[in-house]
Amino acid sequence: MQTVQHILEQNQISAPLTETINTVLTASKDIALLLQKGAMGDILGCAGQENVQGETQKKLDVISNDMLKDALKACSHVAGIASEEEDLPVAANADGQFLVIYDPLDGSSNIDINVTVGTIFSILPSNGGDTAQEATYLQKGRNQLAAGYVLYGPSTLLVMTTGQGVDIFTLDPDTKEFVLTEAQSQITPTTKEFAINMSNQRFWAKPIQTYVADMLQGEEGPLGKRYNMRWVAAMVAEVHRIINRGGIFMYPWDNREPNKPGKLRLMYEGNPMSMLVEQAGGLASNGEIAILDIEPELIHQRVPVILGSKEEVNTALSYNK
Ligand code: AHG
Ligand code: MN
Ligand code: MN
């Protein structure tokens, strides 16, 4: 039986980075416990406030954000923190070497109905920058030293990469250890399964309209195969399904709020998920370039997302030409 600690050692991950990852994992285990309490823990429902992006915060968005923030501030290797639920970056330890960027609870609209949610994290080098300043955090996804998510579903899982492939760990409820249950996970290059919020169809740009219309035509259409559709409304669950059995996930630009490039956030969702997908042999694009190659301009910047099985993502991208 190999734990996450064995794999980090095997991959020769430095002690400071290992400790930083462990800090995220320890907080995630506490979040998992809280989620298990559900309605008994007074954690469901809204917090009565909005985040900087104008979204209503759930109580658990706020609680899980604070749990991660407090734990990371106490870890001497962490120089700064940026969270989907914080207006501004949070400076941590002057001697720290890492920036930890996270979505404390992805898919939080699912909490009240007891459906899968997750914590997404991304670790960047701080390069000695001023961690109270947004500019220090505005690094391309390619700079990530580690990325992953903890999925709170029927089991609690950790899916992580340190740039040496993607490993999947299951939280053993008895020992409270993340145990390796799938090494070097790979996304199948082809698929017949897509995930997109179809209710936004009329707001999409023409190429996505045409691509989805072609998929819906099945065997008789130009793509020549019958597709199935899934939508969990939690990116973390969508990406997890794709890592396990392939598929394509899209949250494209739409004209509901034309000045926003999409719904999902580049730093908290796009970059960590794209590193995982690429490390598992898939592709992740904003429709034009690899998400990991985008030069961020704002910490809360949005990004259109098309990711998953390599051949299917290439098919989707061919509609842009
Ligand atoms: P969050 O809960 O962190 O705000 O993220 C929700 C995101 C993402 O997880 C999911 O793919 C998408 O929003 C769901 O969007 P719809 O509400 O359009 O289904
Ligand atoms: Mn999210
Ligand atoms: Mn969130």
What is the per-residue pLDDT across 66-104, written as a single tens digit (0 to 9) for each? Answer: 999 999 999 999 999 999 999 999 999 999 999 999 999
Query: What pTM was estimated for this model as a whole?
Result: 0.96
What per-residue confidence (pLDDT) applies to 321? 78
Structural domains of the chain ordered from first start? 4-182 (3.30.540.10), 193-318 (3.40.190.80)
Q: Distance from the CA of 88 to the center of ligand 3, in angstroms?
A: 15
The rounded distance, in Å, linking the Cα atoms of 202 and 252 is: 12
| Non-local CB neighbours of 129 within 8 Å, separated by 6+ positions | 135, 136
pLDDT band at 11 (very low <50, low <70, confident <90, very high): very high
> Whole-angstrom Cα distance, residue 105 to residue 31?
9
Alpha carbon separation from 216 to 124, 195, 226, 229 (Å, rounded): 40, 12, 8, 10
- What Å distances lie between residue 111 and 98, 171, 269, 272, CA to CA? 30, 20, 18, 22
Q: Give the model's pLDDT for residue 39.
A: 66
Note whether 165 and 187 are within 8 A (CB). Answer: no
How far apart (Å, rounded) are the C-alpha atoms in residues 85 and 108? 12
Query: In this structure, are residues 238 and 149 in contact, taking their beta carbons and an 8 Å threshold?
Result: no
pLDDT digits (tens, 9 = 90+) for 241-286: 999 999 999 999 999 988 888 999 999 999 999 999 999 999 999 9
Task: Please check the confidence at residue 48 and state whether its pLDDT lies above 80.
Answer: no
CA distance 179 to 157: 9
Residue 295, SS3 per DSSP: coil
In single-letter form, the type of residue at position 122 comes to S
Check pocket membership of 69 for ligand 1, CB cut-off 6 A. no
Q: How far is the CA of 89 from the centre of ligand 3 (A)?
A: 16
pLDDT of residue 53: 77
User: How high is the pLDDT of residue 47?
Assistant: 77
Tokens standing for residue 164:
């040496």
Taking the C-alpha atoms of residue 120 and residue 141, their distance in angstroms, rounded to an integer, is: 14
Give tens-digit pLDDT for 144-158. 999 999 999 999 999
**Residue 301: which pLDDT band, with cuts at 50, 70 and 90?**
very high
Find out whether 14 and 162 touch, Cβ atoms under 8 Å: no
Mean pLDDT of the 20-47 span: 88
pLDDT band at 199 (very low <50, low <70, confident <90, very high): very high
What tokens appear for 225 in the block?
A: 């195969």
CA pair distance 281, 271, nearest whole angstrom: 15
Ligand minimally distant from the alpha carbon of residue 272: 2
| Predicted confidence (pLDDT) at residue 57 exceeds the cutoff of 90 | no
DSSP secondary structure string, 20-44? HHHHHHHHHHHHHHHHHHGGGGT--
103 CB within 6 A, ligand 1: yes
What is the Å distance from ligand 2's center to 234 Cα? 7
DSSP state of 200: G
CA-atom Rg of the chain in angstroms: 19
CB 181 within 8 Å of CB 170: yes
Residue 147, token pair as written in the block: 């990325």
**106 in contact with ligand 1, CB cutoff 6 A:** yes
The predicted structure's pLDDT at residue 214: 98
With tokens 């796009």, the residue in question is: 270
Q: Which atom of ligand 1 is nearest to the CA of 251?
A: 11
| 52 pLDDT above the threshold of 80 | no
Q: Whose Cα sits closest to atom 2 in ligand 1?
A: 107
The sign of the CA dihedral 102, 309, 202, 111 is negative
Calpha distance 32→63 (Å, rounded): 12
Residue 51 pLDDT exceeds 90? no
C-beta separation of 246 from 283 below 8 A: no
Region 225-231: what's the mean pLDDT?
98
Distance 264 CA to ligand 1 centre (A): 7
Distance from Cα 103 to the centre of ligand 2, integer Å: 6
